[in-house]
Amino acid sequence: MPQLPPTMTAIQIREKGGPEVLEAVTLPTPAPADGEVLIKVAAAGVNRPDVLQRMGAYPPPKGHSPLPGLEVSGEIVAVGAGVARWTGGEMVCALVNGGGYAEYCLADAGSVLPIPKGIDLVQAAGLPETSLTVWNNVFDRGGLKSGEWLLVHGGTSGIGVAAIQMAKAAGAKVIATAGSDAKCQRMRELGADVVVNYKSEDFVAAAKTATAGKGVDVILDMVGGDYIEKDIAAAAEDGRIVFIAFLGGAEAKVNFARVMMKRLTLTGSTLRARTAAVKAGFARAVEANIWPLIEAGRIKPVLDSTWPLAQAGEAHRRMEQGQHIGKIILVVGNGNG
């Protein structure tokens, strides 16, 4: 094991506010507890929950790091007691309980994944959060099957580009929404069967047309608000609507008579607050089912932009502008672990 420095550079949230409240600080280098590993971070994914946490709207669960950053890639440089699979020196990516915006980051060993063959460390940093989120919500909770229709809102977000590709690889048909013609073209390139510019088109009408009036089987919604009633209208009988965020608001007036008549399932989840054991289960499912598709080139990481760790605030500005396509990544050092 390499000799670790006593301190590290990390990005903390000075106070709730805009991107300018993200500041570089010097903190003690953490040591892994039982069941944990310490990763020397090569790159860290930037996700919407990081932005919400910075704004004071998504505080970390008890016991989680107060630092932002929910996914990283890099080299395991220390291993806690009770860890069997990892011994140190492995290049990995991981879902983490915060702390990813730093030179070193702790991870529960069960949420650590090998890097798929053919993927570099910068690309790998954007895989854990999106892959586990889509697997849990589209396939576990949504029950998407080959031949069914999936409607993805926010199709060019990190979650969206993963959902489109994972659904297509599973044999499903995909409708995806975005807010510009350029984004719609990118969704076509990623495999979406039908694309909808929500600023000029009605996604309910598009869904009905694409499915010959039947409606879609699964909807992945990160918008909420007035989309909820529209989702119900767009869904097929026995359809499943899965909520993972509420960028348009968490409350809506809903006609539940249509939910009853169509026998719909409305569900949703958050990943961050789940137990280590549950997250480990998702990680193993993704490693078994999604990693081979990435290695075969059927699912490709989509990177929007990369930023040095010290420019985390600019990375957040990029996300908040809403023009990104795919993942925004912070690169730590030279990005090589």
Write out 57-98 in H/E/C secondary structure. CCCCCCCCCCCCCCEEEEEEEEECCCCCCCCCCCEEEEECCC
CATH number, domain at 293? 3.90.180.10
Confidence grade of residue 334 (pLDDT, cut at 50, 70, 90): confident
pLDDT tens across 282-316, in order?
999 999 999 999 999 999 999 999 999 999 999 99
Mean pLDDT of the chain: 96
What's the confidence (pLDDT) of residue 110? 98
CA 197 from centroid of its chain's CA atoms: 22
Find the domain containing 212 and state its range: 131-268
Instruction: Report the number of distinct structural domains present in the chain.
Output: 2
The residue out of 227, 251, 268 marking a domain boundary is: 268
User: Does any domain span residue 261?
Assistant: yes
d(CA 245, CA 222): 4
User: Does any domain span residue 2?
Assistant: no
Closest CA to 243 of 265, 275, 210, 273: 265
What's the confidence (pLDDT) of residue 333? 81
Q: How far is CA 84 from CA 14, 23, 35, in A?
A: 37, 36, 9
Top pLDDT among 185 and 334 is at: 185
User: Does any domain span residue 82?
Assistant: yes
Per-residue pLDDT, averaged over 147-161, amounts to 97
Query: With 70 as the cut, is the pLDDT of residue 211 above it?
Result: yes
The residue out of 240, 268, 296 marking a domain boundary is: 268
Confidence grade of residue 336 (pLDDT, cut at 50, 70, 90): confident
Rg (CA), the chain: 20
Confidence grade of residue 130 (pLDDT, cut at 50, 70, 90): very high
What's the confidence (pLDDT) of residue 274? 94
Query: With 70 as the cut, is the pLDDT of residue 337 above it?
Result: no
Query: With 90 as the cut, is the pLDDT of residue 243 above it?
Result: yes
Q: Do 237 and 190 sit in the same domain of this protein?
A: yes
pLDDT tens across 20-48, in order?
999 999 999 999 999 999 999 999 999 99
What is Dmax (Cα atoms) for the chain? 64
Query: With 80 as the cut, is the pLDDT of residue 210 above it?
Result: yes
Q: Among the listed ranges 43-47, 158-162, 330-334, which one has the minimum average pLDDT value?
A: 330-334
d(CA 38, CA 115): 16
Task: Give the CA dihedral 313, 314, 316, 318, nearest 10 degrees.
Answer: 170
* Count of C-beta atoms within a 10 Å radius of residue 296: 12
Query: With 80 as the cut, is the pLDDT of residue 2 above it?
Result: no
User: Does any domain span residue 237?
Assistant: yes
Q: Do 61 and 176 sit in the same domain of this protein?
A: no
The residue out of 219, 245, 268 marking a domain boundary is: 268
